[in-house]
Amino acid sequence: MSGRIAGKVTLVTGAASGMGAAIVRRFRAEGASVHAAGLQPELLAALARDTGASAAPCDVVDDGAVRALVDGIVRAHGRLDVVVNAAGIIHEDDGATIEDAVWRQTLEVNLGGAMRVCRAALPAMQRQRAGAIVNIASVAAFNGSAGMASYAASKAGLIAYTRTLANRYGAEGVRANCLAPGWVRTPMSEMEMRAAGDARGIDVEAAFAALTERIALRRIGTVEEMAACALFLASDEAAFVTGAVLVADGGARVPASARAP
């Protein structure tokens, strides 16, 4: 690795598994000092042992815990350079039948969690007049898929929120961008594909295989590829990039079926 964010003090939420864990691994390999936050202490501890990151159990819905975590990082290092908000949940729901509790929980974690972390981190970034925020959104923000009412709304809100940060704090040296993954092989996507496969009488692997026919690159993304995208947005290579949404979906939003064979 090239050390593209060497020495950068970084906080990654949702770090226990999936994209969050992959981002921790890649950032550590690139020389960052990483604090890996999440709700699964055993997985975080294992990740910390493997990578040298600091395990930081934290619920992003708990504002006091978020503030304590961020304040502790700033006290320990004197700064906070990068925040990656990868914490997220998903529920299958429908606009006509969605329950208030499901709606509130999804937005509280996916949108409110990112807001709380950014709110706590921004004062340090303002003082140092530098910082990079990477919020993990989703192409669901644009696609409006059935069964994704609360999830899509939370991710669309996250994009809008990120753009307000970019506009407000750019003059103070703080950049804010979104990464919008498409289908990526994670525990969350496997859960979705298991439900889809059960409805069609096929297994998870067959459901993933059928899905690739709708993707221009004809494959599912990997968490390592998403970590590479997050690394770019967090690094100085993206020094003139803010308020942007990097879509990494293998061309799933391209009308692949209209192409000549």
| Active-site residue list | 151
| Whole-angstrom distance, CA of residue 229 vs CA of residue 171 | 24
CA–CA distance from 193 to each of 21, 22, 32, 202, 210 (Å)? Answer: 21, 21, 34, 10, 10
CA–CA distance from 56 to each of 38, 175, 213, 230 (Å)? Answer: 7, 24, 39, 20
Contact 171, 129 (CB under 8 A): no
Q: Which residues pair with 64 in a beta bridge?
A: none
Tally Cβ neighbours within 10 Å of residue 216.
16
Is residue 178 classed exposed, middle or buried when 0-12, 13-18 and 19+ CB atoms within 10 A define those classes? Answer: buried
SS3 133: strand
Place of tokens 């209209």: 258
The alpha carbon of residue 163 and the mean position of all alpha carbons in its chain are separated, in whole angstroms, by: 15
The torsion region of residue 31 among left (phi > 0), alpha (psi -120 to 50) and beta comes to left
